[in-house]
Structure 1
C-alpha cells in the first residue's frame, strides 16, 4: 500500500490494542484523551495522519455511552485531519441486543449506533461475534463480523483434554446456529462426534428468566454451553443447573464477550460450572477475574484482519 497503517486505541481496550500492535509489528500511535469537569470528552491526535490508513480499537462496553462518544470523536478528529481511510475496530459492539422492536414504542438501538458510527466518518467496521448477524445490514459501509470460535476451540483443546461424551449446548433457541457452528469446528479439531442440545428460555424482562427447559439428551455428558456474551451470568448458571438436573456429568462454558456485570462473577463462582472460557474483547478488570474464568486473547484474529484489510486482501479465510 502507498499509505501508512496506523493503529490507535481508545480508553476501552488499551491492553488488547498493545497485543494487536505487537502482532502487527508496529506501535500504538499517540493520542490525547481527556475529560472535562462536566464529563465531556476531549480528543487530540498527537501525530500526522494525513493520507494514512487508520484503525481505531475501541469496544463500546461499560461505560457504554462514554466509549461510544469517544469513538465518534476520535473518528471525527481523524476525518478532519485528512486520514485516507478510517476503520473502527469494535471488538464488542454495545447496544447489539436491542436489534429489533420487541414491544411497542421502543427504539432499535443497534441500528441507531450504526448510523452514529457512520456519521462520525468511519469507512469500515471490524467487530467480533455480533449478537446477531443482521446488525451488519444496519450499516451502509462494509462490516466484517469476525469469529472468536477458533481461539475458544483451541483453548478447549489445550485445557480440557479429559472430555468424554461431549454435548454442545445453546442456552437459547436464538443461539442454536452459533452452537452448531461451534460443534462443527469442535468435531473437526478433535476428530470427535459431539452431540447438541438447546435450552428453551422464556424471559420476563431483561436479565430475568421465567423458565428454562432442556431440548435434547445430556445424560452422562460433559456439556459445553456456547454463547456470544455473558452479562450477569443468570442465563448461563440457570442453564448449567438444568443440565445437571437432567443427568449431565460436568458443565463448562464458552463465550466471546465477558461483560460480567452486577453479580456476574459471583453467580459463576456459586454455580455448578467448572470452567468458563472467554475472550478479552471486553477489558479484564480485577473485579472480573476468578479461578473459574479463563481469558484468551483475540489479538491474533484482529491483527490478521487489520493486515488483510490494509493490504486489500480477502479476509474470508478468517470466517
Structure 2
C-alpha cells in the first residue's frame, strides 16, 4: 500500500507507515508523524488482491481520519476492483459479491474512488464518487498499440458478446480506422467447459488484437487464438487490463505472440518473474503498462 499527502499546490509526498499482522491474524497500521499544515488531500494506492489487504485499507482510512480529525479528504486508487466478476446472483443462495465489496468501500466515506476498466456497468453504479478509467485510455498508454490502432494496421477481436460494446468503443477512440470482428463461445452448461469457439469474420493474413478486461486462467483466449491461427491470422496479440494469469504465461505459447497488460493486479517486477518461470522459452512477449 502507498499513501500520498497531496498539498495545496498539488505536489505529492509519500507518507511513511508501518503495517504488520498480529499473531492472532489482526492487521495493524501505524503512520509516522505527518505534517498536515499544507495537506489538501490524502491519496491511497493499493492492489486489493487478497482479504488482508482489504482489512489494511480499512485500518489505513481510519488512521488517516484520526490524524486529521476527519478534515482532510481521502481518495482511493484501486485499479483492480475485487469481486467485480460476481455482479449478479446466478444461483439462489449466493452472495452478490460486487455489492458487498462496494458497500465496504462506500462505508469508508472516501471523496473519490478510481478504478480501471470495470468488469461491467454494475460496479460503477454501486460505488459512490467513482471514476472508472476506460480501457481505451489505458491502451493509449502503449505507443505501439496506439499507432497500430490509429493506422488501422491491426484488427480488434471481441472475444464474446459481453465485450463487444467496449471493443467498439476502443475502435472509435482511435479514429475508427480499425476493423472489429466478433467472436463467440459455446459452453457446456453442466461442466462450464468451452466446447466451441467461432470467429464471425475474415482474419486471413491479418494482425489481430484480442481485447478484454480480465485474464484469469486464459482458457477463453487460448481457444480463440487457436481458431484465429487456424483461420490464417499471421499475428495474435492480447490486451487485458487485469492480468491474473493463474496458470502462468506458458499456456499461451505458440498461440498468442504478445500479451499487453497493466500493473493493476501485479507489479511490473512480479510480471517479469512470472515470465521467467519454467517453460519461459514458450511464453509470449509480455509488455506491462505501469500505473
Aligned pair partner of 2:33 in 44, 47, 66: 47
Aligned to 1:253: 238
Aligned to 2:185: 201
> 2:136 & 2:206 partners in 1: Cα distance?
21
Cα distance, 1:112 vs structure 2: 0.5
Relative to the length of structure 2, the TM-score reads: 0.82
Aligned to 1:302: none
Aligned to 2:261: 278
> 1:271 & 1:153 partners in 2: Cα distance?
27
SS at 2:55's partner residue?
helix
Tell me, yes or no, if structure 1 residue 228 matches structure 2 residue 216. no
Deviations 1:16-73 (A, max 9, x none): x8xx9xxx75331111111112332111122347675111101212xx2122222122
Gaps of 5+ in 1: 1-7, 11-16, 299-319
CA RMSD of aligned residues (A): 2.8
> 1:9 & 1:165 partners in 2: Cα distance?
39
Tell me, yes or no, if structure 1 residue 73 matches structure 2 residue 55. no
> 1:158 & 1:69 partners in 2: Cα distance?
37
| 8 A contact 1:164–1:222 mirrored in 2 | no
Gaps of 5+ in 2: 277-283
SS at 1:120's partner residue?
coil
Tell me, yes or no, if structure 1 residue 176 matches structure 2 residue 159. no
Cα distance, 1:96 vs structure 2: 0.6
Cα distance, 1:101 vs structure 2: 1.2
Cα distance, 1:293 vs structure 2: 0.9
Aligned to 1:149: 136
Aligned to 2:88: 100
Aligned to 1:4: none
Kindly tell me: are residues 231 and 271 of structure 1, through their superposed partners in 2, closer, same or farther at Cα, counting changes over 3 Å? farther
Aligned pair partner of 1:267 in 221, 226, 251: 251
Cα distance, 1:154 vs structure 2: 4.7
> 1:73 & 1:203 partners in 2: Cα distance?
42
Cα distance, 1:179 vs structure 2: 0.9
Deviations 1:234-264 (A, max 9, x none): 2112111111122222211111111111x13
Aligned pair partner of 1:111 in 76, 88, 99: 99
Task: Give the number of aligned pairs.
Answer: 271
Q: Which gives a bigger RCO, structure 1 or 2 (Cα 8 Å, sep 6+)? A: 1
| 8 A contact 1:240–1:251 mirrored in 2 | yes
SS at 1:60's partner residue?
coil
Cα distance, 1:207 vs structure 2: 8.0
| 8 A contact 2:152–2:179 mirrored in 1 | no
> 2:93 & 2:262 partners in 1: Cα distance?
35
SS at 1:97's partner residue?
coil
Question: Where do residues 15-54 of structure 1 align in structure 2 (5 Å cutoff)?
Answer: 25-48=11-34, 52-54=40-42
> 1:152 & 1:132 partners in 2: Cα distance?
18
Cα distance, 1:105 vs structure 2: 1.7
Cα distance, 1:148 vs structure 2: 4.3
